[in-house]
Amino acid sequence: MLSIRSVAGQMFVLQVLIVLLLVVAAVVALLIESRSDRYAAARDRSLAAAESFAHSPGLVTAMQGPHPSAELQPLTEAARKGAQVDFIVVADRNGIRFTHPEPEQIGKKFVGTIGPSLQGKVTVEQVNGPLGREYQVVVPVEDANGAVVGIVSSGMKITNVSSAINHQLPVVLGAGTVALGLATAGTALVGRRLLRQTHGLGPEEMTRMYEHHDAVLHAVREGVAIVSGDGRVLLANDEARRLLDLPPDAEGRAVTDLGLGPRTTELLLAGHAVTDEVLSVGDRVLAVNHRPTDSGGGPPGSVTTLRDSTELLVLAGKTEIARGRLRLLYDASMVIGTTLDVRRTAEELARMAAREFCDYATVDLAEEVMRGEEPRPLAVGAPVELRRVALTGIRDDSPLYPQGELVTWAGSTPQAEGFVSGHSALVPELATDAGWRMQDAGRTRAALEFGLTSLIAVPLTARGVLMGIACFWRGRDRGPFEEDDLSLAEELAARAAVSVDNARRFTREHAMAVTLQHSLLPRELPEQSALDIAYRYLPAQAGVGGDWFDVIPLPGTRVALVVGDVVGHGLHAAATMGRLRTAVQNFSTLDLPPDELLGHLDELVSHIDQETATTEGALAISGATCLYAVYDPTTATCVLGGAGHPPPALVHPDGRVELLSLPAGPPLGVGGMPFEATEVRLPEGSSLVLYTDGLVEDRTRDIGVGLDLLTASLAHPGRSPHEVCDAVLDALLPARQTDDIALLVARTRVLDPGRTAEWEVAGTPAAVAQARAEATRLLTEWGLDEAVFVTELVLSELVTNAIRYAAGPIRVRLLYDRSLICEVSDCSSTAPHLRYAAAEDEGGRGLFLVAQLAERWGVRYTPEGKIIWAEQFLRPDTPTA
């Protein structure tokens, strides 16, 4: 903008030179004036000080006294400071100093001219004195008779004389800087205005520009017409003349005299803006844009541009069709495949196609696809059986096969050929297609009478698997399908086929996971008399999880109840659930209390996680929860322990519901904290409800709300366990189940006290016979005469071992339930071992005999010691508890 070649740049340089010249002149004048002022000031001040001191009283006397320097030195220093000069020196006629600001100079020769002063004159001069460059005045000292007896010199160093330039020079320089800034701002404003008016062009460039503009104006394929404020044509380029059929002398004439159409004349003379107005002129379609020129302060008038859009309309129609197809494909990608359900995906495809692409849409799939399998390949020309899973159209009374029907397509039909070959088929006219009409004469005739005229059959293929056929139908009102429609149908079906295949694969995996899960869960509940049990297990709709439950009979008529949950879904969770369930069953055979069993289970999970951590991509199972409860019907007590599991619910016989508060335990595999167990007394007829979090917790429901609903649904007395399960599921089952649900309801029973007997045995050999006699008496009362022999032998061996190897009190307990259980307890924690005695051994055959005679035997440990038990199964006709 400020280029030296531009007018603004040249003006700027001239202004800068003028400002600099004025500043330099002012500075020179100040320097000259300052020099004169410096000498005048020094002279006047020095002269005044010297004359004042030279005429001071007592000066002559002091100079002629015996000690002139001692008397005058203080006086001259005081006078020097008062007069603000640099020195006052008193000397005799020979120029010997009596005083000086520097005492070492006293007595030395005065530096300067003293001759004129001895004659009574005043001398003003510059000398290089002891203080440097000095400007001094020499004044004679006269006595009372007028004789010169000495001189007084006063002066200043030239550098100490203040000058006006010190104050005036900043003002001059500041004014010059301001002037230079104003010149720069003014030049910038002028240059900006010139740039706006000329766009930075010089005269030659502007001439060349106007020539180029005129050439371009008449060469462009867009008409331009400029009309003045009085309605006359000022300019019309060649394209405007061609599009409007203007006469050669149109410029300068009124628009109304050009013979244009009313609408064209109205647009050219419009006083408002017009944007993309469509105007028909002959066989042309013009797009008109009109803008007034006086809206921004310009001259009155208007500018109108005209563009031939005849061909663009045809292209716009094709573009709109393409845009609609792209929109259809985009909408299909958003709508189709929202779920992993085969039927739902097929219905979404049919609805999407029938909404914008065709009148009716059908989807037929192979039966294997519905089960998650791959259809078997068929020979060319063979009939094809497909299940119609979706049918959507503009009417509900179409003669097409209804939804759900198994259709056998003839080998010559487009549907069968497409399913076998994997190629699409376009049938523009159904009436003339012999292959389609071979399917069903009555139904095809009804379809033609109904108005169906055109068909596209596209196979649903994904990842090399042919799964079915999608058919798109049109009626006579919409017109037949074309080749472009075939490509769109294939793209639409290809996108839907991927979703169908995904749903098929999910169906297969889900079925496999469900099968695996059910194979790992209990097939049926074991026989036992302690609890009346009912259960419900519901796998998630979207994928199986790792929930499980178990009922495990334990020695001494006790029963263990287990409910657990493994985080995650799918095959991994189901397989992990099977591992944990097997581990719990194995640990339960050791007859461990719940806290110890959970501790062993926690160590197992941690060990499994450590193994999987070394395998890339393996999933850990940390976070699994478990609840383990052991119910003893002989004492009506239940010992429970939990590992991060929801609390069980206890329903009392009167209907009161209580959520049992268990000691907090971390989920399995987390570690770091011991597990604790708690013992609860359960009244006879009460129900213990165990469940997984899928029952009480949901995405739309907090666990606190779920527990409230659970307690409300349980608070009804007198219901059987099966009725309780149904009521709980009716109240809490969500509309869409996203997690597995395991529910276990156990109503307690108490063993008849008349069927149990317990007594203490003395630690002497004679007590063995007494124990056998008491057992015989009890079995006779219970009607178990056939079990007397085996019981006596088993009891003898167990009591004998306790007397021989154990310490402390020995107790015997007989339990008569579904089986006969004989228990011998002592205070020793040493476990007996079964061994095979040699022929010459005298002992070692006791436990071997017990193991041979009893159905089962074992050892369980108590806080006081251990219990050795042996169980005999009773005959089926033997009455039980």
Percent pLDDT > 70 in the chain is 87
Model confidence at 434: pLDDT above 60: yes
Q: Which amino acid is at 116?
A: P
**Cβ–Cβ < 8 Å for 366, 375:** yes
Instruction: Give the Cα separation of 863 and 248 in Å (integer).
Output: 123
pLDDT of 395 above 80:
yes
pLDDT of residue 264: 84
pLDDT band at 842; cut points 50, 70, 90 = very low
C-beta of residue 808 within 8 angstroms of C-beta of residue 828: yes
| Percent of the chain clearing pLDDT 90 (strictly above) | 27
Query: What per-residue confidence (pLDDT) applies to 164?
Result: 45
Give the per-residue pLDDT at 296.
67
* Pairwise pLDDT comparison (588 vs 38), residue with the higher score: 588
- Categorise residue 783: left if φ over 0, alpha if ψ from -120 to 50, beta otherwise: left
- State the pLDDT at residue 316: 56
Q: Which long-range contacts (CB under 8 A, 24 or more apart) does 794-797 make?
A: 794/822, 794/849, 794/850, 794/853, 794/854, 794/870, 794/872, 795/771, 795/822, 795/824, 796/768, 796/771, 796/772, 797/846, 797/847, 797/849, 797/850
Give the residue from 786, 857, 778 showing the smallest Cα distance to 814: 778
Lowest mean pLDDT among 185-189, 403-407, 585-589, 677-681: 185-189
User: Which run of H or E residues covers position 631?
Assistant: strand 625-632
Residues 6+ apart with CB under 8 A from 549: 521, 522, 535, 537, 561, 562, 563, 564, 690, 742, 744
Q: Which of 224-228, 683-687, 708-712, 722-726 has the lowest mean pLDDT?
A: 224-228
- Judged against a pLDDT cut of 50, whether residue 748 lies above it is answered with yes
Q: How far, in Å, are 202, 336, 412, 422, 459 from residue 418 at the CA level? A: 75, 22, 10, 5, 6
pLDDT at 223: 84
Band (229; pLDDT cuts 50, 70, 90): confident
Summarised one tens digit per residue, pLDDT across range 163-206 is 445 666 677 777 778 777 777 777 777 767 766 666 666 656 66
Least confident of 18-22, 679-683, 704-708: 18-22
Residues 190-211: b if buried by 16+ CB within 10 A, e if exposed: ebeeeeeeeeeeeeeeeeeeee
Q: Which residue has the higher pLDDT, 235 or 633?
A: 633
Sheet containing strand 756-761, edge to edge, reads 756-761, 810-816, 819-826, 865-873, 856-862
pLDDT bucket at 854, cuts 50 / 70 / 90: confident
pLDDT band of residue 861 (cuts 50, 70, 90) is confident
Place of tokens 């095809």: 444
Instruction: Pick the range with the lowest mean pLDDT from 355-359, 540-544, 699-703.
Output: 540-544
Q: For 655-670, what is the mean pLDDT? A: 89
Give me the pLDDT at residue 841, please: 44
- Choose between 222 and 213: higher pLDDT: 222
Q: List % helix, strand, coil for the chain (3-state, nearest 5).
A: 40, 25, 35
Residue 846: the pLDDT is 67
Strands annotated E in 116-190? 123-129, 132-142, 148-157
- DSSP conformational letter for 753: G
Full DSSP string of 399-444: SSPPTT-EEEE-TTSHHHHHHHH---EEES-GGG-HHHHTS-HHHH
Nearest to 649 by CA among 701, 735, 721, 548: 721
Q: Is the per-residue pLDDT at 727 higher than 50?
A: yes
Estimate the crossing angle of helix 7-54 against helix 68-83, to 10 degrees.
Answer: 150
Question: Which amino acid makes up residue 305?
Answer: T
pLDDT digits (tens, 9 = 90+) for 39-51: 777 777 888 888 8
Mean pLDDT of 508-534: 80
Specify the pLDDT at position 860: 87
- Lowest mean per-residue pLDDT among 100-109, 195-204, 560-569, 752-761: 195-204
More confident residue, 150 or 835: 150
Instruction: List strands edge to edge, sheet with 531-538.
Output: 531-538, 741-748, 687-691, 649-651, 657-659
88 neighbors 136 (Cβ within 8 angstroms): no
**Between residues 529 and 881, which one has the greater pLDDT?**
529
Question: Which of the residue ranges 198-202, 227-231, 620-624 would you say has the lowest mean pLDDT?
Answer: 198-202
- pLDDT of 616 reads 52
pLDDT over 50 (residue 1):
no
Q: pLDDT for 265-278, tens place per residue?
A: 888 888 888 888 88
What is the pLDDT, as a whole number, of residue 839?
47
Q: Is the pLDDT of residue 556 over 50?
A: yes
767-793 average pLDDT score: 89
pLDDT band for position 446 (50/70/90)? very high
CA distance 188 to 9: 9
Distances in Å between the Cα of 243 and the Cα atoms of 233, 238, 281, 309 are 15, 9, 8, 11
Residue 536 binned pLDDT confidence (cut-offs 50, 70, 90): very high
Give me the pLDDT at residue 849, please. 77
Average pLDDT along the chain: 83
Distance between CA atoms of 249 and 242, rounded to whole angstroms? 13
pLDDT tier for residue 252 given thresholds of 50, 70 and 90:
confident
Q: Please give the C-alpha separations between residue 135 and each of 96, 129, 313, in angstroms, as whole numbers.
A: 19, 9, 102
Q: Cα separation of 575 and 548, whole Å?
A: 11
Q: Which of 631, 652, 664 is nearest to 711 (CA)?
A: 652
pLDDT at residue 429, as a whole number:
92
